[in-house]
Amino acid sequence: MPTRTTVLQDRFRNRGTAFTLDQRAELGITGRLPAAVETLDEQAARAYAQLRDQPSDLHKYIYLNELHDQNQVLYYRLLVDHLTELLPVVYDPTVGEAIQQWSTDFRDSRAVYLSIDRPEDVEASFASLGLGTGDVDLIVVSDAQEILGIGDWGVNGTDISIGKLAVYTAAAGIDPDRVIAVNLDVGTDNEQLLNSPYYLGNRHARVTGERYDDFVALYLETASRLFPDALLHFEDFGPSNARRILVGNAAKYRVFNDDMQGTGAIVMAAVFAALRVTRGRWAEQRLVVFGAGTAGTGMADQIHAAMLRDGATAGEAKSNIWLVDIHGLVTDDMAGLPDYQQVYARPKSEVGSWADGEIDLLTTIEQVRPTILIGTSTAHNAFTEDVVRTLAKGTERPILLPLSNPTSRIEVMPSDAVPWSGGRALIAVGIPVPPVEYDGVTYTIGQANNALLYPGLGLGTIVSGARHVTDTMLLAAAEAVAGQVDVSEPGAGLLPPVDDLRASSATVAVAVAKAAVADGVATKSHDNLIQAVQQAMWQPVYTGELPTGETQP
Ligand SMILES: NC(=O)c1ccc[n+]([C@@H]2O[C@H](COP(=O)([O-])OP(=O)(O)OC[C@H]3O[C@@H](n4cnc5c(N)ncnc54)[C@H](O)[C@@H]3O)[C@@H](O)[C@H]2O)c1
Ligand SMILES: O=C(O)C[C@H](O)C(=O)O
Ligand SMILES: [Mg+2]
């Protein structure tokens, strides 16, 4: 049967106008390209100019997506060369916008879709990729129940898996031919989607309970059997599912929950750096977490563990942590508290006199005088001027981490928080923001987004062949990130700049791989880890040889 599909439709192998005339002849595409033979640099310059002409970030997102579908090397070349500019386009915050329009804008897809209504297809869906057992390093999966801070987006949430993978490759050189993006389509409770004529996912409410658990178990079992080397990254699951899946499977599979562990570790990195400024000790910190869901309680757990390492008893550490959620300060008399909040619930007898009824954030801050305030609530502007001023009144250098994404959800913008705290708050946020000028000082605002951590963590896990992602590996990653910042100047950022992300990821990967060895979970040994990490990093270049192999549309 004649075929019109050529190497030009295969994003893995396509080089477009960079194919030489000889290569064109050999590949049977003579006459299918204009005469010019270009270098990758020349192609990248044109693509970048086209990108700059796009009228909005969402248009840029769509342009880059199409480029990715045509020529993967060129796409990553652009991303690596302009990482600081393009990270907010392929990832947060633009990915949030793209997800909301995904079914309407749908053109093509690079993911694997697993439907809870067809569990018998899970194996065949992976098999359709034609990959062997040793061919996959990483799978990012989402059921899209809690996309960023924008809620349930069903199958539209596929692009969070794709965006996270793009960052893995651009930031840490994870080989893009060896990764898979997966959407677990378990239905959606988003009525807007269910009523949209364009919606592409299963048109029913989210399946919960045993059927949901069985489906996740089937995914884990199948993915790890077919691709035993793969790290199984979980993204943007709902809070109780996220935690249950991680806790229940961490000993059995190579799983990683980015919202809990990745975020927890990047926050640890920011606090490590901040404590170098305040000269404070972990055990002495008083932590208030506003928005005690997946990310917030993941951070509380990691800071709790750091307090223990610093000599606090479990009781002392717990007594220095306060969770504030939608009904105010979490107390032990509240009915129906999820298990992950129960651990930190304060005795009602201790706080009952603070207010009649619900104890709000401001009251909690007045009473507790926290040294660290974290926001993972999705409640935009919840850190009001009053809140920030009260925080700064209670502590000389409060650590303030309003981490909700995307921009429309952040609890306070640094441009407000810096002046409200008189320049004293040590701030990091989840989105990229410009520096703030205040009182003659330029305040650089570090980006406490898990994207600054998980790529290097993943690379270190892959290079060491770690069987599990252990707490020691997470801590090593956090310390390696914090070790890259110099906080001695006034206004210095708490985290390394995104410009340095590739180098930073390599450093993190080495630290993580060492920790995997120390923890006894590494399955690969290297004489020179630095060299092994460098060699493992995929580069966006056309290799000398001609791209051979089956065309994969
Ligand atoms: N910076 C990062 O790296 C990073 C990583 C993960 C999550 N996040 C952000 O954190 C936010 C939360 O994510 P998640 O996965 O934990 O979601 P989640 O749904 O698991 O948790 C949100 C929590 O906030 C509570 N909440 C909602 N409205 C509130 C209000 N008005 N006052 C107090 N509490 C309120 C909810 O009850 C819930 O417990 C999102 O915006 C997400 O983008 C940031
Ligand atoms: O995706 C991000 O920007 C970070 C984090 O995983 C989130 O859910 O907000
Ligand atoms: Mg997330």
Same domain for 148 and 30: no
Name the residue type at position 284. Answer: E
- Give CA–CA dist 152/170, Å, rounded: 27
> What pLDDT is stored for residue 503 in this prediction?
94
Q: Strand order in 446-447's β-sheet?
A: 328-329, 321-325, 287-290, 372-375, 399-402, 426-429, 446-447
Mean pLDDT by 10 residues, the chain (553 residues): 78 95 95 97 98 97 95 98 96 95 85 98 97 97 97 97 98 97 98 97 98 98 98 95 95 96 96 97 98 94 94 97 98 94 96 95 98 97 98 98 95 98 98 96 96 97 97 96 95 94 96 97 96 97 71 44
- Give CA–CA dist 50/16, Å, rounded: 16
- Give CA–CA dist 304/313, Å, rounded: 10
Which ligand lies nearest to the CA atom of residue 430 in the structure? 1
> What pLDDT is stored for residue 553 in this prediction?
40
Ligand 1 pocket, Cβ-based, cut-off 6 angstroms: 146, 148-149, 239, 259, 263, 266, 290-296, 325-326, 376-379, 403-405, 409, 430, 448-450
Which of 448, 475, 496 is the last residue before a domain boundary?
A: 448
Q: Is 464 in the pocket of ligand 2 (CB under 6 A)?
A: no
ipTM entry: 0.98
What separation, in Å, do the N-terminal and C-terminal C-alpha atoms of the chain show? Answer: 17
Same domain for 435 and 312: yes
Parent domain of 458: 452-536
Q: Is 92 in the pocket of ligand 2 (CB under 6 A)?
A: yes
- Give CA–CA dist 504/506, Å, rounded: 5
Distances (CA, A) of 418 to 368, 372, 397, 422, 426: 21, 15, 12, 6, 9
Which of 448, 463, 490 is the last residue before a domain boundary?
A: 448
Residue with CA closest to ligand 1 atom 18: 293
Q: Is 100 in the pocket of ligand 2 (CB under 6 A)?
A: no
Query: How many separate domains does the chain show?
Result: 4
**Could you identify the atom of ligand 2 that is nearest to the CA of residue 259?**
6
Residue 551 lies in a domain: no
Backbone angles phi, psi at 374, to 5 degrees: -110, 140
Record the pTM. Answer: 0.94
Residue 358 marked ligand-binding: no
Residue 14 marked ligand-binding: no
Residue 549 lies in a domain: no
Q: How far is the CA of 394 from the centre of ligand 1 (A)?
A: 25
- Give CA–CA dist 266/260, Å, rounded: 10
Same domain for 409 and 286: yes
Same domain for 457 and 428: no
> What pLDDT is stored for residue 1 in this prediction?
52
Of 141, 61, 151, 122, nearest to 405 by C-alpha is 151
**Could you identify the atom of ligand 2 that is nearest to the CA of residue 449?**
4
Residues contacting residue 186 through CB under 8 Å, at least 6 positions apart: 116, 143, 202, 206, 207, 212, 215
Strands 179-185 and 138-142: parallel
- Give CA–CA dist 459/131, Å, rounded: 20
Which of 448, 466, 498 is the last residue before a domain boundary?
A: 448
Give the side-chain half-sphere CA count within 13 A for 494: 28
Same domain for 288 and 270: yes
Same domain for 369 and 268: yes
- Report the catalytic residues: 91, 164
Q: How far is the CA of 243 from the centre of ligand 2 (A)?
A: 16
Q: How far is the CA of 378 from the centre of ligand 1 (A)?
A: 5
Backbone angles phi, psi at 543, to 5 degrees: -75, 160
Of 303, 279, 257, nearest to 453 by C-alpha is 257
Q: Is 146 in the pocket of ligand 2 (CB under 6 A)?
A: no
Name the residue type at position 353. Answer: S
Same domain for 428 and 284: yes
Q: How far is the CA of 449 from the centre of ligand 2 (A)?
A: 7
> What pLDDT is stored for residue 110 in this prediction?
86
Other Cβ atoms within 10 Å of 539 Cβ, number: 11
